[in-house]
Each structure stands twice: as C-alpha cells, then as structure tokens.
C-alpha cells in the first residue's frame, strides 16, 4: 500500500468552526442512527467549501438551515463529505447509519459484551458522524441517547444529565449537556446494563460533585479502591495546583474490550477494567498502585487536556506528557517517592531509550505521521513527562506552579501548542527558555559525560560536563540541549559538602547546574578533600550518564548517598558491570565466577535493616535484560540471559542464609494491608524468594507451594505461581491448572495466568503459547488477552522470542496477519518487537528483516501496520 504523511509544517487553522452540536443516537442491534445538528461559521473567507471527516458511514439525510440539501451542493467520498459554497453561518443537519455491532477495531462507537461504548481519540468520532474531527475545533455538545430500556437501562454521555423520558415502544432516552467547549475526540457515550458504585466529593469551594463508577454487576465489589483513588486525586489537584472539578457529576465506566488503558472524555471517563477493578485476592500491589495512578491521570486531564487541549495531534505531549508528570507527582506523594521515581526511570530506560535509539525514534513533538494512533508512544508520554519535570527542576516547585497558573489563565477553553506552555513557564518566571524547546524538536537520548578533577592545593573541585546526541532519522546533527544536572558532593564519611561555585560568595547545599553548551566546566571552591560526586540526582534529565566511577565509589554511593535514586542507580551500575564482565570473560574463553564487588554489595544490602524495604527490594533487583541490552552495540540475547541467570543463582548460593532469614522475618501475619510498609515487605520477601527459587531445592519448592496455598492476596499468590511455573517445581503443571480453575471467572486474573506462562524462560515456552492461543479463555478480539499472551511473549521474553531459528518472529507474523483486519491499533503495537532488528547479530537481522518484508507484502495492510513496518525497514 501507499500512504501519505501528515506534516506539522502543513498545519492550517480550520476554515470553519462549530459552536454548538446537538446529537441524537437511536441505538439498535443491527444498526444505529445518528442525527446531528451543527452550528457552523466560516472563519476563512477565502475558502469556499466545507470538508467534513467521515469514515464507514451511510449518509441518510442532509439539511442546511432545516432545508434538504440538493445533490449538486455536496459530494461524498470514502472519507469526506464536502459542501460547496456554504453560507458564512448556518446549521447543518446530518443523519447517518453506522454499525457498532460489527466494529472490531474498537474505534468510534462499538458494541462489546452487550454494551455500547465509544473511543474517539484521536480520530474515532468521524466513524460516528460527519464532522470537523480535529482537536482545534471546540464546540458545546448536547447529546440525546435513545435505546431499549430493558437491555440498556444506563444511558451515559458527557456533561450533566438535564432531561430524561420514556417512549411508547419500550425505549427510553436521556439528554446530556456539556457546558464546556471540547473537541470531538473527547466525546463519549456508553449504554448498557451496568452496576454502579456511588459516592460524592465536596470541592474546596463547597460544591458537591456526584461520583459514579459503572461496571458489570458482579464486579461492583471491586470498585472501592478506584473510588478512593479518585477522591484522593481530586483533593490533591486542588491542593497542589489549585484546580477544582467543574461539572456536577464525574463518571467512570470500566469495559473489558478497550484498546487503551483509559480515556479522559469530559465527565465520562471510559476505562479498561484493568485500571478499575481490584480486590486484594484478585489484584496485586502493583495493580492497586497502577489503578491509583491511572485514575488520577485521567482525572487530571480535566484541566491538562480537556479545558486546555492540543491545537493539533503533533502537540499530543502537551496534554499527555504534562499529565503523566502530574500523575507521577501524585503517586510520589501518595506512596514511596523514592520507589515511584525509580519505577518511572526504569520504565523510561526499558521502553523509551530503545525507541530513541531505533528507526522509530521521533521527537517529543513529531514532525510527521502516517497514522496518528502510532504516536501514542513512550516518547510522547514518558519522555514528555521528563521534559515537563525538567521545567520544575529548573524553575523550582513554586516557579513551576506560577507557570501552570499563567498557562490556565491564558489558555482556558483553547487548543494550544507546546510553545504556549513554554511561554507561560518562561513569562511567569522571567526566564528565557528558548533553548529548552530543543527537547521538543530533537529526537534521541543525549549522552552526558562527566569528569571530576580535584586540586588539593587550591581546595578546588572542577566538574567537567559534555553532552552529545546520536543521529536519528529526523536529524544527523543536534544542537546542544539545556540540561539540568542536579549534583551533590560527598566527603569520605558520606556527608554532604556545602557547594560554592567560583562566582558565588556563599555556599549552599546540593544544586542544579544548567548545561547549555556542548562542553562546560563548573568550579567549586573550598572543597577540603577529593569528593565523590553524586550526579544527575533524582534523574534530573532523560540522558545517559557516563562517569568513570570506580567500583569502590559505586559501593560508597550505594551505601551513603542521601539521594535515594542515586543509591539505587549505583547498585544498578554495579549489576551492569557484573553482567558485561561475565560476557567479556566468556569471550576470552574463561569460566565464570561471581564478581566480588556484586557479592559485597548484596552482603551490605542484606545486612541493612534501616533502609525502607521497598527501596531495598529495588536495590536488590538486577538490571533487566532490556536495560542490559541497551549497553551493547550488538545485543547478545543468549549471553545476557545466561549471565543474568548466573548472577541470580550465584548470589542466591552466596547469600542463601541471609535470603532465607529475610523470608522468615518478612512473613506477613494478619489481614492484608495496602499501606506502604506492607507493600514494601511483600515486595522484598518475594524478591528474596525469587533468588532462592533459582536453586531449585526441595525446601524452596515447599516454601512456594505453601505460599500459593495459604496467601490471602494476589501479590503473594502470583509471585508463588510465577516462580513455580518458571522453574522445575514437581507440581508445576498441576499448580497452573489449579490456579486457572480457581480464577477462571476473573478475566483480569486469567490475563495474569496467560502472562506468567508467556514470560517463562523454559525452552518449550513458544510451543506452550501456541497451545494457549486455542484455550477457551483466549480471545483474539480482546486487546487485554492479546497483550497478556502474545504481547507478553514478544516484548517481555527476549530469549525465547529472539530464538536463533526465527520461530518467535514467524509466530508474530502469523498474529499480525490475523489481527490487522480486526484491530490495526493492537497489531501495530505488537509489531514494535521487530523494529530494532539492526541491533542484533547477522542471523537474527536477516530473519527479522524477512519477517517485516512478509508483513509489508500483505494485501490490504492497514496504515497503522504499514507505517511501523516501513519505517523499521528504512531505519
């Protein structure tokens, strides 16, 4: 196929605007009639035609100012409705017929599991009716939903319910009015027979807001945590940013068939069940924390995305990166700030850094796209959040708040750009941030090189910093970024040294240096002895830090740094060095032995009873295979897996007694608790069990069986069944079958069951995954099931997916062939596993390239998959 790109430089303001929209939906089992009345006005007098977007629509009627429009006044194509020479201001009536019951792509209005639901971001509204389906056209919506009462007692849409009634034929209707202008991507409709959990929230100004969470009737007992999370998010946003909710009602609907995690439609958020439903026996600690974060994220969009939205889709990070940052800050305040930051950075490094280094690298604000669905990426979201965090690092929390206040003051009710956000930050703080905009325009992960130099005679420490950024598809040469580098200097006792730069008169504590040139040096005076630098504290910029620390200095930082992120980072770097050292030793033909530095690190950590258990668990976790792969010019899949497993087993043997003692000491007695200390204790205990499980001893097998049988919570159950399934436990198959039998009616637990099997490193995993495709619980049309089984295998099981015979690649091609006609979005996301083919050895390169070529040869290939495959091959 051929597909043309949409370019940022081609943006033009809309020639027409829509002020008011009246929608009427008559929902049916074999078709739905949609009537719309659009109040339009011309904005550009030079344009003599109105082009409306529309896809997969059957046009039933068209009126202009309530009069039928003659056929010669309009033209319909596969994706547009064009009106010729419309007046300067008019009302357009459009009636269409659509088929939600046949919509497997889950875009626009679709029917699934007996309910009607919408997903309109980014361009799904055009599959509902003809419209100016672009984010810079903001209108006030009134929506009337009509359906059979018995089948669909709940009729929901955006805004506030203003009227309802009954019809003689057994149908009923509800009219919703949204008083705030919004783009069409924020439209939502849900109709079904759903249970509801109700609560309320009193805002700081004294208004009472009704809160409602809808889900299947037998799942309402799993909504309490989501409701509590929503109320915490509403209060936090008032206290932290002064932002109050603006409607009379806030609704969440949890659906099982959904392409995304959740969607922030104004007043009616549609969520994947994964991010709403939770009970201690069905959801892990990570699930509870994830729900809290995503509930907050979508609520925070009410201001950063809804009240102020994007001018065009190139500005997507304006709402997503900003809102991810806000939910990260919320999570840090609600839970362990140290662990929250570590999790953020681990995710960034495992997912976004590889994207920045591959053929799909793109700036936080892309310059072009073929299919906008493909730019809902970790670069837009997670790197975008790091860019927003850098504003706060540079300006301070108070300065950042001033910038946010000015942003809302200037742009409430508008569709704006990344430049507008930057200007608000700059103007509110009297700063020139023009160089900072390079973070939006330039792709790639910068490398930050640091070198320290101490002059004992002058009591002077000089920190030399240099930045560079590798070429990426959009540009070979990069201009220097403005990089905030948070630093501290430690004396040999681990105490923080006061810092005074050469042009300063008074010393202060740790500070943020601003690197603006390719190379700069910062001179600190009155330094009594050679310090150990603590660099990039809190991961103050999304860069790769290169500093020639000795092993002893890393051990020192892991033990003494007051910055908890850098304590963890020092432990991670020792783990990276240990793995790479083993690979070098093997290349020289020598036998492996446990690196003494890593053994010493673990001895210190395991003897430490003063560190927060949640942080200690993070420090005891070896670097992931994904992060380790980023340290290699050519990824050695088998070598990385073998070296990491050697270290896991070697550390378990070396510290068996300490691991066993911690397992016993951390055993939880009493009822399940979700407080931070309990979460940390469970995490640390399960980490110790993970090491001990590598020994495959009868004692550990017994410990795992007991935990699986006696645990009153899914966190401990899932840890046990995963270690049983991944190892040589004698009851492995029976345990897997028993686990499924127990939880087969809980779809989200079944998803975990699929994933733990798909991520097993056992040699027969692919064969087993292929068998699971035929399991009654698997459904190719359900995105959660596809992600849980196929996605987990291809993205989270490197050693088996990248099997040297190419069987993993062939498996993925088969799934793309099946999925692309059903759901192109999900198919395209799966294809990401093949995009970095150039980073592997010659044999795997040829196999991966061949898989991509086979995909491109498919007839009727969607733009979603075509864009990913073609860019991967060209990169």
- pLDDT for position 473: 86
DSSP 222-275: G-HHHHHHHHHHHHHHHHHH-----SSEEEEEEESS-SSSEE--TTEEEEEGGG
Q: Is residue 366 domain-shared with residue 437, that is, in the same domain?
A: yes
Q: Is residue 39 domain-shared with residue 187, that is, in the same domain?
A: yes
The set of residues, in sequence order, having a beta carbon less than 8 Å from that of 844 and lying 6+ positions away, is 637, 802, 804, 806, 837
Whichever domain contains 873, its CATH number is: 1.25.50.10
Domain end marker among 502, 522, 541:
541
Q: Residue 772 domain-assigned?
A: yes
Q: List the domain range (segments joined by +) for residue 28.
A: 6-193
Domain end marker among 193, 209, 233:
193
Q: Is residue 350 domain-shared with residue 478, that is, in the same domain?
A: no
Please give the backbone phi and psi of residue 322, each rounded to the nearest 5 degrees, phi first: -65, -40
- pLDDT for position 594: 97
- pLDDT for position 390: 98
Q: Residue 464 domain-assigned?
A: yes
Q: Residue 382 domain-assigned?
A: yes
CA–CA separation, 848 vs 809, rounded Å? 7
- Is 245 in contact with 209 (CB distance < 8 Å)? yes
Q: Is residue 387 domain-shared with residue 509, that is, in the same domain?
A: no
Domain end marker among 420, 441, 462:
441
Please give the backbone phi and psi of residue 199, each rounded to the nearest 5 degrees, phi first: -155, -170
- Is 529 in contact with 505 (CB distance < 8 Å)? no
CA–CA separation, 777 vs 289, rounded Å? 26
Q: Give yes or no: 298 in active site.
A: yes
Number of compact structural domains in the chain: 4
Specify the length of the chain in residues: 875
Q: Is residue 99 domain-shared with residue 79, that is, in the same domain?
A: yes
What pTM value is reported for the model? Answer: 0.97
**Other C-beta atoms lying within 10 Å of the C-beta of residue 734:** 11
Q: Is residue 88 domain-shared with residue 115, that is, in the same domain?
A: yes
pLDDT in tens, 467-491: 999 998 888 899 999 999 999 999 9
Structure-token pair, residue 667: 């055993």
Q: Residue 628 domain-assigned?
A: no
Q: Which of 379, 332, 330 is nearest to 358 (CA)?
A: 379
Q: Residue 703 domain-assigned?
A: no
- Is 689 in contact with 705 (CB distance < 8 Å)? no
Whichever domain contains 490, its CATH number is: 2.60.40.1840
Q: Which of 319, 20, 294, 320 is nearest to 141 (CA)?
A: 20
Q: Is residue 56 domain-shared with residue 165, that is, in the same domain?
A: yes
Q: Is residue 35 domain-shared with residue 134, that is, in the same domain?
A: yes
DSSP code at position 611? S
pLDDT in tens, 280-312: 999 999 999 999 999 999 999 999 999 999 999
280 three-class SS: coil
The span from the first CA to the last CA of the chain, in angstroms, equals 19
Q: Is residue 346 domain-shared with residue 404, that is, in the same domain?
A: yes
- pLDDT for position 529: 97
- Is 86 in contact with 74 (CB distance < 8 Å)? no
The H helix count followed by the E strand count for the chain is 29, 31
Catalytic residue, chosen from 55, 298, 746, 867, is 298
**Residue 861's Cα: distance from chain center in Å?**
26
Q: Is residue 60 domain-shared with residue 163, that is, in the same domain?
A: yes
DSSP 566-601: HHHHHHHHHHHHHHHHHHHHHHTTPPP---HHHHHH
- pLDDT for position 2: 61
Q: Is residue 400 domain-shared with residue 515, that is, in the same domain?
A: no
Whichever domain contains 149, its CATH number is: 2.60.40.1730
The helix (run of H) or strand (run of E) holding residue 186 is: none
Q: Residue 807 domain-assigned?
A: yes
- pLDDT for position 659: 98
Q: Residue 259 domain-assigned?
A: no
Residues of the chain with pLDDT under 70: 1-2
- pLDDT for position 574: 98
CA–CA separation, 79 vs 566, rounded Å? 53
Q: Is residue 516 domain-shared with residue 387, that is, in the same domain?
A: no
- pLDDT for position 1: 58
Whichever domain contains 398, its CATH number is: 1.10.390.10
Q: Residue 424 domain-assigned?
A: yes
Please give the backbone phi and psi of residue 367, each rounded to the nearest 5 degrees, phi first: -95, -20
């Amino acid at each position: 196929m051929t597909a043309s790109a949409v370019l940022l430089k081609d943006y033009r303001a809309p020639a027409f605007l829509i002020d008011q929209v009246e929608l009427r939906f008559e929902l049916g089992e074999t078709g739905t009639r949609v009537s719309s009345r659009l109040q339009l006005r011309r904005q550009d007098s030079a344009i003599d035609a109105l082009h409306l977007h529309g896809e997969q629509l059957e046009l039933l009627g068209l009126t202009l100012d309530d009069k039928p429009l003659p056929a010669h006044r309009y033209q319909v194509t596969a994706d547009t409705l064009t009106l010729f020479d419309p007046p300067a201001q008019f009302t357009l009536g459009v009636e269409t017929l659509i088929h939600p019951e046949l919509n497997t792509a889950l875009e626009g209005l679709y029917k699934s599991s007996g309910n009607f639901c919408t997903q309109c971001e980014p361009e799904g509204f055009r599959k509902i009716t003809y419209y100016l389906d672009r984010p810079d056209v903001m209108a006030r919506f009134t929506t009337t939903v009509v359906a059979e009462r018995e089948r669909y007692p709940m009729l929901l849409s955006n805004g506030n319910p203003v009227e309802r009634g009954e019809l003689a034929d057994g149908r009923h209707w509800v009219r919703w009015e949204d008083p705030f202008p919004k783009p069409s991507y924020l439209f939502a409709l849900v109709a079904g027979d759903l249970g509801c959990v109700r609560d309320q929230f009193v805002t700081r100004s004294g208004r009472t807001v009704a809160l409602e969470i809808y889900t299947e009737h037998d799942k309402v007992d799993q909504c309490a945590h989501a409701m509590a999370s929503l109320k915490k998010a509403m209060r936090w946003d008032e206290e932290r940013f002064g932002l109050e909710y603006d409607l009379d009602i806030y609704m969440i609907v949890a659906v099982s068939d959904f392409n995304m995690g959740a969607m922030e439609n104004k007043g009616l958020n549609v969520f994947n069940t994964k991010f709403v439903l939770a009970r201690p026996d069905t959801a892990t600690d990570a699930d509870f924390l994830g729900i809290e974060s995503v509930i907050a994220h979508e609520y925070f969009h009410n201001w950063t995305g809804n009240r102020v939205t994007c001018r065009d889709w190139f500005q997507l990070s304006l709402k997503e990166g900003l809102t991810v940052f806000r939910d990260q800050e919320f999570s840090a305040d609600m839970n362990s700030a140290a662990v929250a930051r570590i999790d953020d950075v681990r995710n960034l490094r495992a997912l976004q850094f590889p994207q920045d280094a591959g053929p799909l690298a793109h700036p936080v604000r892309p310059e072009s796209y073929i299919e906008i669905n493909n730019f809902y990426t970790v670069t837009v979201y997670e790197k975008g959040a790091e860019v927003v965090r850098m504003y706060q690092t540079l300006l301070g929390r108070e300065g950042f708040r001033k910038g946010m206040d000015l942003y809302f003051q200037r742009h409430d009710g508008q569709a704006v750009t990344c430049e507008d956000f930057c200007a608000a930050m700059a103007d509110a703080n009297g700063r020139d941030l023009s160089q900072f905009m390079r973070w939006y325009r330039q792709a790639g992960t910068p490398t930050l090189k640091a070198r320290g130099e101490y002059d004992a005679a002058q009591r002077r420490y000089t920190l030399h910093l240099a930045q560079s950024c590798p070429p990426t598809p959009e540009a070979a040469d990069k201009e220097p970024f403005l990089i905030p580098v948070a630093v501290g200097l430690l004396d040999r006792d681990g105490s923080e040294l006061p810092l005074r730069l050469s042009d300063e008169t008074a010393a202060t504590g740790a500070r943020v240096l601003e690197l603006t040139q390719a190379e700069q040096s910062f001179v600190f005076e009155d330094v009594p002895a050679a310090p150990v630098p603590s660099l990039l504290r809190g991961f103050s910029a999304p860069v790769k830090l290169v500093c020639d620390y000795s092993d002893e200095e890393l051990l020192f930082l892991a033990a003494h740094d007051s910055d908890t992120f850098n304590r963890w980072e020092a432990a991670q770097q020792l783990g990276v060095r240990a793995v790479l050292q083993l690979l070098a030793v093997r290349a020289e033909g020598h036998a492996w032995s446990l690196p003494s530095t890593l053994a010493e690190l673990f001895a210190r950590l395991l003897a430490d009873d003063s560190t927060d258990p949640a942080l200690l668990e993070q420090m005891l976790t070896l670097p992931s295979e994904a992060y380790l792969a980023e340290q290699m010019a050519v990824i050695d899949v088998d070598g990385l897996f073998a070296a990491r497993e050697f270290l896991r087993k070697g550390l378990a043997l070396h510290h068996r007694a300490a691991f066993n003692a911690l397992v016993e000491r951390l055993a939880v007695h009493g009822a399940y608790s979700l407080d931070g200390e309990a979460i940390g204790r469970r995490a640390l205990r399960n980490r110790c069990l993970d090491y001990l499980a590598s020994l495959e001893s009868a004692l550990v097998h017994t410990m795992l069986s007991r935990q699986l049988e006696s645990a009153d919570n899914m966190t401990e159950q899932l840890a046990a069944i995963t270690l049983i399934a991944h190892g040589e436990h004698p009851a492995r198959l029976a345990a897997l079958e028993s686990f499924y039998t127990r939880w087969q009616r809980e779809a989200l637990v079944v998803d975990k069951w699929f994933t733990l099997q798909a991520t097993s490193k056992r040699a027969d995993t692919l064969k087993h995954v292929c068998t699971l495709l035929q399991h009654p619980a698997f459904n190719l049309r359900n995105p959660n099931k596809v992600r849980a089984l196929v996605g987990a295998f291809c993205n989270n099981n490197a050693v088996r997916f990248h099997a040297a015979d190419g069987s993993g690649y062939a498996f993925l091609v088969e799934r793309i062939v099946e999925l692309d006609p059903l759901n192109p979005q999900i198919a395209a996301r799966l294809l990401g596993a093949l995009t970095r083919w150039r980073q592997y050895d010659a044999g795997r390169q040829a196999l991966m390239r061949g898989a991509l070529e086979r995909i491109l040869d498919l007839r009727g290939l969607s733009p979603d998959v075509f864009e990913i495959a073609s860019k991967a091959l060209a990169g």
